[in-house]
Amino acid sequence: MTRRKIIAVLAITAGVALLATTATALSRSDDLAPPQPGAAVVRSDVQRTITTAQERLRRVPGDADTWALLGSAYVEQARITGDPAYYGKAQGALDTSLRHKPDGNGNAHLGLGALANARHDFAAARGHAELARAALPDTAEVYGVLADALTQLGTADQARAAVQRMLDLEPGVPAFTRAAYDFEQRGDVDSARHALTRALDAATSPADTLFCHYQLGELAFDNGDLDEASAQYEQGLLTDPLDPALLQGRAKIAAARGDLDDALTGYADLVARVPSPQYLHEHAVLLRAAGRSEEATRQFDVLAQQERLLAAAGSTDDLAASVAAADRGDPAAALAAAEREWTRRQHPLVADALAWALHLAGRNAEAVSYADRAAATGWRNATFAYHRGMILRALGRTADAADALDSALRTNPYFSPVDAAAARTALDGLR
């Protein structure tokens, strides 16, 4: 479940920054009515930006900034719909922007950085962000793209400096939410909550409000506070009853409270609308927890198909592949994927996935060093603690294993519909 943190943070930079500036100017010039808040507000805003940009390009086909805007909007559309076909459209539009303006085109490199982040090519994202920074050194959004890339590459200190620069330039929702993620990775939950609250206070659009409520709900859920998490999800759903992330939160709360039928209904509706790998994976795990193994297997097959579509669209996410393979019961595939991802970046999430894959392969003496590395950040992450506890248990380090498993359940007793029960069983045995 910890993969959602990557998705959540990158969502802020998937074209939103450029959309917020250029789209406003375009909509005013075309005299279009402003969008009204309500259901599917984010989707309608992005589609409106795409349509407006396309209309302008029919009149002014050499407008490099509008091509950059269109490409960034396609990145955001891919995130919203879960359709990786938009990645190719984004690449084409952004490349066209660069052809029309090859030098000093900060907007195009900003969009390409967001696209690379969305495709999990974080090294390329860092490169584009640096080029964007050279052209737009005082633009806050550039540091958002850069911070996301640096965070996922495992260079936390450099990422923190980029977030601080973003806060200095424009202390708004994108900066505060990134600061919150940095605090959370260091185990400072109170500061993370404070930063997210400041983000919510700074929100000026329905899209920002939805995002902040979701992040506050996720922070509460990850620390075992179901009532607060539910309150945040439901508050967001008052703004947009069809928001996929908030509906995922509602389904997750139902599962944590033991309402498996409601949770499964919620996930089934969700994946039918937005077949993102995260939602498909969570649905499959929940089906398995409910004893519906054949349906879970079919859902894992759909997930594999979606991963192949993403790969064909240029997205490489071996972290997700490793976690899915581990949950599917394929330790060899899980280990191969985790090892590939580790060669590209040393983020705590990757260290944890590699530790767990090594454990499933019976290589616990190697696994523990990666589990220790994931834990060393101080991140209050129940999944990390559970994996480390099970590895220590396999090594015969009973007292350390009990401490780790106890930490997992104290942090969030609902962290997984499958693994939380396994943690309790293992802890009872150790005691």
Among residues 95, 124, 156, which one ends one of the domains?
Answer: 156
Question: What CATH number does the domain containing 358 carry?
Answer: 1.25.40.10
The verdict on pTM exceeding 0.75 is: yes
Number of domains present in the structure of the chain:
3
Residue type, 147: A
Do 11 and 113 fall into the same domain?
A: yes
| Domain hosting residue 232, numbered range | 171-257
Q: Which tokens is 86 given?
A: 């938009």
69 in the same domain as 22: yes
302 touches 281 (CB < 8 A): no
Residue 4, domain member (yes or no): yes
- Domain limit, last residue, from 126, 156, 186: 156
For the range 225-229, what are the long-range contacts, defined as Cβ-Cβ under 8 Å and sequence gap of 24 or more? 226/253, 226/256, 226/257, 226/414, 229/253
pLDDT in tens, 63-91: 999 999 999 999 999 988 878 899 999 99
Residues 328/320, Cβ–Cβ less than 8 Å: no
350 in the same domain as 211: no
Q: Would residue 83 count as lying in a domain?
A: yes
- Please, which pLDDT band fits residue 19 given cuts at 50, 70 and 90? low
Q: Tell me, yes or no, whether 129 lies in a domain.
A: yes
Q: Which of 156, 180, 204 is the last residue before a domain boundary?
A: 156
**pLDDT of 45:** 79
Under 8 Å CB-to-CB from 254, ≥6 apart: which residues? 260, 262, 263, 266
Q: Taken in order 185, 164, 119, 83, is the CA torsion positive or negative?
A: positive
Three-state SS string over 180-242 comes to HHHHHHCCCHHHHHHHHHHHHHHCCCHHHHHHHHHHHHHHHHHCCCHHHHHHHHHHHHHHCCC
Within a domain: residue 32?
yes
Angstrom distances, CA of residue 263 to CA of 124, 211, 267, 350, 379:
38, 21, 6, 28, 28
CA terminus-to-terminus distance, the chain: 27
Tell me the three state secondary structure of residue 385.
helix
pLDDT in tens, 370-424: 999 999 999 999 999 999 999 999 999 999 999 999 999 999 999 999 999 999 9
Angle at 51 between CA 211 and CA 84, to 5 degrees: 60
Residues 15 and 130 in one domain: yes
Provide the 3-class DSSP secondary structure of residue 415.
coil
- In-domain check, residue 80: yes
Range in 110-124, 211-225, 302-316, 378-392 the model is least confident about = 302-316
Residue 317 lies in a domain: no
Clarify whether residues 11 and 143 are in a common domain: yes
Q: Which residue, 279, 281, 267, is CA-closest to 322?
A: 281
* Same structural domain, 206 and 119: no
Domain identity same for 378 and 417: yes
Question: How does pLDDT run across 6-17, given as a tens digit for each residue?
Answer: 444 444 443 444
User: Stretch 141-166: mean pLDDT, rounded?
Assistant: 97
Q: 143 and 206 share a domain?
A: no
Once rounded to an integer, what is the mean pLDDT over residues 137-150?
Answer: 97
Q: Which of 277, 321, 344 is nearest to 124 (CA)?
A: 344
